[in-house]
A and B are shown apart, each in its own frame.
Chain A
Amino acid sequence: MAAPMSSVGKPSAERSPFNNTSFQKKTRSKLISIPGTRPSVQNGQLLVSTGVTSLDYLLGGGLAVGTVLLIEEDRYDSYSRMILKYFLAEGVVCRHELYVAAAQDNPDDILQELPAPILDDVAMHKPAEQPRLSREPPDGLDAMKIAWRYQNLPKVQTALASSSRFGHYYDVSKTMEPEIRQAAKCHRFYLPEHPTQSSPPHSTMLESYSALLKSLQEVINREGFDVAAPMSNSRNILRIGLHSLGSALWGDDLCCHDNPKNGRALTTFLYGLRALLRSSLSVAVVTLPSHLIQDRALMGSITRLCDNAIALESFKGSERETNPLYKDYHGLIHVRQVPHLNCLASKLPDHKDLAFKLKRKQFSIEGRRGRSTCCRRSSER
């Protein structure tokens, strides 16, 4: 069970003794409100945004708290890394806590590359300050020649205040300002800084993975993300980003050989991770260089152990790059699995044939065949 709303909220057992009926009015006030979260319209799960609005839509509104999103990396890890950064940047903007683990690059490097959020707060206050009935418009009446009737209208406030909104947009050409970034509390796990002994010969778990799991557990317990922890006034979400798990730098030979020696190490780790997440207010994004993994059956069981699974296929370096059919896009996105949370069947996305495009201000995912953009519908909720 992925932390359903009722178990997170205040105990609903305070029924008055004279209330005979079992019917109860559904009130939202009982639910705790954490900034940057919202309940799912389908099953009431608490959702957080991935930072990519169209991906949220694809996954049924967002990532349910307590679940794992697996991203199969594209060949050069450019777009998967981008999504991971969006996910972390969204956490910074929503003032969630972050946990970043990596073996290749220092987590600090990843955090420094976070894209700058496009916040409309600054632009919002400007039209309100201007008196609406100013007799002397700044540029004179000739500022608008044809559509002059519009020129004195105040600028429409199209955006809500950033904190109350679900999902933000980011400008990938700029990096986030250090002040914003440092305001967020961030836990780092950089594997080379954690000296590990070689694992005992008969253990299915790798030392690097168990060190990571222990560190995660410690953070969850210490910072009070555990659902069972005593209720404090302000609860928060822990966003966990694990970069390039299963790669050779984690000491795993999963990607290196056709018959890996410790092929079960990653699956064992994922069981542990899932058990941790299910009982805490946290959500994880895991990227995995799946194109290096030769054993498809093993890849299948890894996918099964995550709740959401998507795969990115970049056109970079493939013959599809020059194919006119794909000229508008940067790659394909395959939805491998959507979560089944507290239900038998889950909602599948309308399109199976999806492509993505990274623009300066948006990472958009579109249904390719009908050209009907599903990203546009994401705002309908």
Chain B
Amino acid sequence: MLPELLQGVDTGGLLVIQDSASYSGRHLLQSFINAALNREEAVHVLGFEVSEEELKDGLRGSPVQRLHFHNAYTDPLGWTDHPAFTVHQFCLGELTRLVKQTSHSKPATLVIDSLSWILRHVSTPDVCRTLQQLRKGGAVRSIIGLLHADMHQRGTVGSVCHSATSVITVEPAMRGDEAVAKITKRSKSGKVIQDEEIFRIKDDLTVLVQSKSSKGAKKTDSEEQETDPTANLTFNLRLSDTEREAKQKLALPFVFSKEKKTALLHSGPGSGRIHYEPDANDDYDQEDPDDDLDV
């Protein structure tokens, strides 16, 4: 599931990486940036928490010429005369202008590092609205945001994740360099897919999925148990050709010749016939009896 998401978030998608103090999601975020750069997409980073040097240092080896860093690290609140990007510029118009400044044919990926910073200075409904407008706006292909879940009230985290298409929650795993990712993905049809994976991020920022965690393992167990019920029977279920022939020879009671059947079915005048008119009070089962069959 994690590799699929790294392949590219759906158009108009919003991916939220939720982390906490016990495990930072920034490495995973960098993997996402790296994957997008390798696909030759333009990436715009709103950097509140990490400076440009630090980010590019982390992305060593990636083609960084398509990476556009909007510096909100040095002056996030606009206290000096020439702030590059402030938190108050987080609105549809400003962001569209920023993204459109650089000329690329393809719509870009917007990376927000981090949403927590914005949520501390802009009201949650406004943040949610801006994210929603960006998704529908068309200037940005997809949005990836980092959210420190333990910094906010539960409702705030819930509201942001409610409007996201995919949520990855990262937690530390048993072993030092590994982490657990709980992934929830909503497809456009409203279907929800959930998965839990243990992963490790290698030095070149590629993500290595070690194993599915216990939940996934349980599922495979139940699949194995589904064996053919007709395998070990004490009786014979199948007929050989000679047996079938013998069976068809047998004359069953109340099975008549064609002539007799016709006579019985089309009885002459004077016999009764059932006429039925449906009524609103009929107890008729609309349910398809074969609804649950795997056919």
Q: Give me the interface of A with B, judged by CB distance under 8 Å.
A: 76-78, 81-82, 104, 118, 133, 135, 141-142, 145-146, 148-149, 151-152, 156-160, 164-165, 169, 192, 247-253, 255-258, 289, 291-294, 316-317, 322, 359-362, 364, 376, 379-381
Contact = CB atoms under 8 A, between A and B. Distances in A.
Contacts of B262: 141
B286 interface: yes
Contacts of B184: 76, 317
Given A149-B265, A317-B184, A379 B283 contact: yes
Contacts of A359: 287, 291-292
A248 B162 contact: yes
Contacts of B278: 156-160
A163 to B, nearest CB: 13
Interface band, chain B? 35 or more
Contacts of B287: 359, 361-362, 364
6 contacts: A149-B265, A165-B280, A253-B123, A255-B158, A379-B283, A380-B281
B286 A362 contact: yes
B127 to A, nearest CB: 8
Contact of B266 (A133, A142, A292, A294): A133
B282 to A, nearest CB: 7
Contacts of A316: 192, 194
B276 interface: yes
Given A258-B153, A292-B159, 13 more contacts: A77-B190, A78-B191, A104-B163, A156-B276, A157-B276, A157-B277, A158-B278, A248-B124, A255-B155, A294-B153, A317-B194, A379-B282, A381-B281
B284 A256 contact: no
B34 to A, nearest CB: 29
Contacts of B125: 248-253, 256
A89 to B, nearest CB: 15
B42 to A, nearest CB: 26
Contact of A248 (B136, B159, B265, B288): B159
A80 to B, nearest CB: 10
A331 to B, nearest CB: 12
A146 B253 CA distance: 10
A379 B281 CA distance: 7
Nearest to A321: B194
Contacts of B158: 255, 291-292
Give the 3 A-B CB pairs with smallest separation, nearest first.
A256-B124, A248-B128, A292-B158
Contacts of B284: 158-159, 379
A253 B153 contact: no
A380 B283 contact: yes
A248 B129 contact: yes
Contacts of B266: 133, 135, 152
A192 B158 CA distance: 22
Contact of B190 (A78, A249, A364): A78
A258 B283 CA distance: 50
Interface string B157-189: 011101100000000000000000000101000
A360 B286 contact: no
B261 A148 contact: yes
B65 to A, nearest CB: 35
Contacts of B191: 78
B132 interface: yes
Contacts of A253: 123-125
B258 A141 contact: yes
B211 interface: no
B93 to A, nearest CB: 13
B156 interface: yes
A151 B288 CA distance: 21
Q: Which of A248, A361, A381 has the most CB of B within 10 A?
A: A248
A249 B129 contact: yes
A292 to B, nearest CB: 4
